[in-house]
Amino acid sequence: MPVYSMTGYATAQSSTAQSAPETEARQDANSRLGVEIRSVNSRFLDLAFRLPDELRQTEPALRELLTGKLKRGKVEVRVSLESLSASSLRAPSPATLQRLGSLEDSIKSWLPQAAALSVADILRLATNEDKKPHDHSEELVKLATTALKELMSARAREGARLATMLLDRTAQLRALAALAVPMVPKLVELQKTRFLERWKDAMALGGGTALPEMAQDRALTEATAFAIRIDVAEEVTRLSSHLDEIDRLLASGGELGKRLDFLIQELHREANTLGSKSASLELTHISVDMKVLIEQIREQVQNIE
């Protein structure tokens, strides 16, 4: 399965010609139906619909369609329905105008402060008076299906780009870990040498009465304690294990954003521990570089479904 981003955009439009009889009441002879889907990152699946009043009844079908394909993200669906029929601007009949005037007078007798009907109000009411609405539900679902496929393709392309970037960052983390491991024995040997030098200086000041074997034993004991204190092998092993799991998840694809979130937290923990055990400036730099890379991974993982 591909890796899906939660960011995407898709749109689809269709023009329909209805087979209604040629009468003045035919208002939707030609219509343009449009669907627009926008998606951004979110912890959960959050759907929002912006539908014309005459298409409100299609929301459950659209919701079922989207929840069947999308698992996470803040998704907004906008639907537009535009009439292309010139008959929608026909002149109101005298009977219609008389009826609207009578209704307006009746309303104002009860509500004197009510605003007067505008020309736009009259045209809208006259246009919809004898309108026989066309059911666009089936067509809308088909159009939304097309837009959803386009959205999934866009999210998959963005997801592939994110996966490539994440694999590059995990490779850099492995390289940094490989640099840290050989530093520990060198630091231990350096600490042992320093202790022997300090021991010799102390013996010279005290008359040199201590045995060389005692100095060697003490240096070995100090070096062993130091090695245990700065050993990062366990942290590097766990870090490598987490990186292997990230690579495996990216290869398998699917819904993996939340699992990646957990692994990023574990990577942060290991990098912090490695930094706390740092006994040299080089190890400190490696720990800082690791944290920068992990933060870059965390930011991009927020966009993965």
Q: What is the pLDDT of residues 61-75, one digit of tens each?
A: 999 999 999 999 999
Span 32-56, pLDDT tens digits: 899 999 999 998 999 999 998 888 9
The Cα 134–Cα 25 span in angstroms is 12
Q: Which of 257, 305, 12, 16 is nearest to 149 (CA)?
A: 12
Q: What is the mean pLDDT of residues 193-197?
A: 65
pLDDT in tens, 111-133: 888 888 888 887 777 766 655 56
pLDDT in tens, 88-113: 566 777 888 888 888 888 888 888 88
pLDDT at 20 over 60: no
DSSP per-residue codes, 1-15: --B-BS-EEEEEEEE
Top pLDDT among 22 and 160 is at 160
Give 277's DSSP letter.
Answer: T
Residue 12 to residue 151: CA distance in whole angstroms: 10
User: Which position has the higher pLDDT, 140 or 14?
Assistant: 140
For the entire predicted model, the pTM comes to: 0.68
In this prediction, residues 138-144 reach a mean pLDDT of 92
Q: What is the pLDDT of residue 23?
A: 40
Mean of the per-residue pLDDT values for the chain? 80
Beta strand segments in 18-169, E = 30-40, 45-50, 73-83
In this structure, the chain runs to a length of 305
Q: Is the pLDDT of residue 221 over 80?
A: no
Q: 229 or 195, which is more confident?
A: 195
Q: State residue 28's pLDDT score.
A: 47
Predicted confidence (pLDDT) at residue 9 exceeds the cutoff of 90: yes
Please name the residues in contact with 261: beta carbons below 8 A apart, sequence gap of 6 or more.
298, 301
